[in-house]
Amino acid sequence: MKAGIIGMGFIAGSHIDAVRRLGFAEWAAAAGTGTHHELSRQKAEAHYIPRYYESVDDMLLDPEIEVVHNCTANHLHLEMNEKIIKAGKHVFSEKPLAKSVRESERLLSLLQDHPEVTHGMNFNYRMNPLVQEMKHKVRSGQIGQPRLIHGSYLQDWLLLDTDYNWRLDPEFGGDSRAIADIGSHWMDAAQVVIGGKIIEVCADLVTVWPVRKKPATAIETFAVQASASYEEKSIVTEDYGSVLFRMDNGVSGVFYVSQVSAGRKCHFNLEVNGSQASLYWNQEDADRMWMGFRDEDNRSIMRSPNRLHEQARHYSSLPSGHPEGWNDALKNNVYSFYKFVAERKSLKTEACDFATFEDGHYIMKLIEAILESHRSKGWVKV
Ligand X SMILES: NC(=O)c1ccc[n+]([C@@H]2O[C@H](COP(=O)([O-])OP(=O)(O)OC[C@H]3O[C@@H](n4cnc5c(N)ncnc54)[C@H](O)[C@@H]3O)[C@@H](O)[C@H]2O)c1
Contact footprint for ligand X (CB under 6 A): 7-11, 32-34, 36, 40, 71-74, 76, 94-95, 122, 124, 166, 172, 181, 220-221
Smaller CB separation from ligand X, 94 or 328: 94
User: 175 vs 200, which CB is nearer to ligand X?
Assistant: 175
Pick between residue 56 and residue 312 the one whose CB is nearest to ligand X.
Answer: 56
Cβ-contact 200, 382 below 8 angstroms? yes
28 versus 30: smaller Cβ distance to ligand X: 30
Asked if the peptide bond before residue 63 counts as cis, ω within 30 degrees of 0, the response is: no
- Least Å from the CB of residue 89 to ligand X: 18
Query: What are the CA-CA distances from residue 142 to residues 1, 291, 298 (Å)?
Result: 40, 10, 14
Whichever of 217 and 229 has its CB closer to ligand X, that residue is 217
- Tell me the closest approach of the beta carbon of residue 8 to ligand X, in angstroms: 5
Give residue number: closest CB to ligand X.
Answer: 9
Shortest Cβ distance from residue 223 to ligand X (Å)? 8
Q: How far apart are CA 353 and CA 311, in angstroms?
A: 11
- Residue nearer to ligand X on the CB measure, 38 or 350: 38
Backbone angles phi, psi at 21, to 5 degrees: -80, -10
* Nearest CB to ligand X, comparing residues 184 and 278: 184
In what order do the strands lie in the sheet containing 90-93?
A: 51-53, 26-31, 2-6, 67-70, 90-93, 119-121
3-state secondary structure 318-351: CCCCCCCCHHHHHHHHHHHHHHHHHCCCCCCCCC
**Residue 122 CB, nearest distance to ligand X (Å)?**
4
CB 5 within 8 A of CB 69: yes
Bridge partners (DSSP) listed for residue 230: 215
Q: Residue-wise over 288-321: b if at least 16 C-beta within 10 A, else e?
A: ebebeeeeeeeeebebebeebbeebbebbeeeee
Q: Where are the beta strands (DSSP E) in 155-309?
A: 198-206, 211-215, 230-234, 240-247, 252-258, 267-274, 277-282, 288-293, 299-302
- On whether the CB atoms of residues 147 and 271 are closer than 8 A, the answer is no
CA-wise closest residue to 369 among 252, 245, 256:
245
How long is the chain?
382
**Residue nearer to ligand X on the CB measure, 146 or 169:** 169
